Amino acid sequence: MRPRTRKPGTTLLCVGSILFLSLTAPALAIDAPETINIDVMSKFYGPVTFDHAMHVDYASCEECHHHTTGEIVADPNCARCHTHHDAKTVVSCSKCHVADRFNQEYISKLEDPELYHLDKPGLKGAYHLNCVSCHVTTSGPTGCVDCHALTEAGEKLYRTGAFTPETKTASGKEH
């Protein structure tokens, strides 16, 4: 039988994780992450480190999470069905809003006559529609690169940065 001695490394890990948890969750008095790294779609733009803790001061949970956090939804249309809903175990955006919104499989699902949410935006649409509209009213950043920097692929797509078109001479213009 091996002696039940704890290695110093394990202790440190335990203390560390407790310290980490105490720093993140209870500080907001809600069980929510401090920051979220949004990187599932980073192709032309880099990932966004979303400061969740900061945004909690600007909006109530339901404004972004709808009925999933257990809060009562303000939208009367949503409230018709989602008045008394308990908090869901998973409230992340990507749980309901799919990243690949226009694939064939998803589109064929829309033909279900029982389906009510046939106009649910994809993940990218959900983020931008929710974030940008609020940023406009609260004077938050609204420019593309104010939130996420262009990647090299992005610069190539937009023909900007290192890929900026050379200024054409008068004869170069075809008309």
Partner 1 sequence: MKFMEKLSRRRFLKSGLAATAAATVIKNTDSKASGNFEGYPDGMGVLVDLTRCVGCRSCEAACNKEQGLPEPEKPFNDFSVFDELHHGQKRRTDETAYTVVNRFDMPDFDHPIFKKFQCNHCNEPACLTSCFVNAYTKTPEGAVIYNADVCVGCRTCMIACPFYVPTFKYSSAFSPRIMKCIFCYDTRLKLGKAPACVEVCPQEALSFGKRSDCISMGRQRIRQNPGKYVDHIYGEHEVGGTSWMYISSVDFDKVGMDTTLPKEPILNSVKDFLAIVPMVLTIWPALFTGFHLLATLKDKVMEMEMEEKRKEKEGQA
Can you tell me which of 26, 30, 118, 141 binds partner 1, judged by CB under 8 A?
Answer: 118
The 3-state DSSP class for residue 160 equals coil
Can you tell me which of 128, 134, 149, 151 binds partner 1, judged by CB under 8 A?
Answer: 128
Can you tell me which of 124, 134, 149, 151 binds partner 1, judged by CB under 8 A?
Answer: 124
Can you tell me which of 32, 56, 61, 132 binds partner 1, judged by CB under 8 A?
Answer: 132
CA distance 157 to 143: 17
Question: Which string of x and - marks every residue 60-99 that binds partner 1 (by CB under 8 A)?
Answer: -----------------x----------------------
Burial class (CB in 10 A: 0-12, 13-18, 19+), 45: middle
- Residue for token pair 């609204």: 142
Q: Which stretch binds partner 1 (CB under 8 A): 9-17, 29-37, 49-57, 127-135?
A: 127-135
Can you tell me which of 46, 47, 70, 122 binds partner 1, judged by CB under 8 A?
Answer: 122
Using CB under 8 A as the binding rule, whether residue 20 contacts partner 1 is answered as no
Beta-strand runs (E) in 4-132: 35-38, 48-51
Percent of residues in the chain assigned helix, strand, coil, to nearest 5? 45, 5, 50
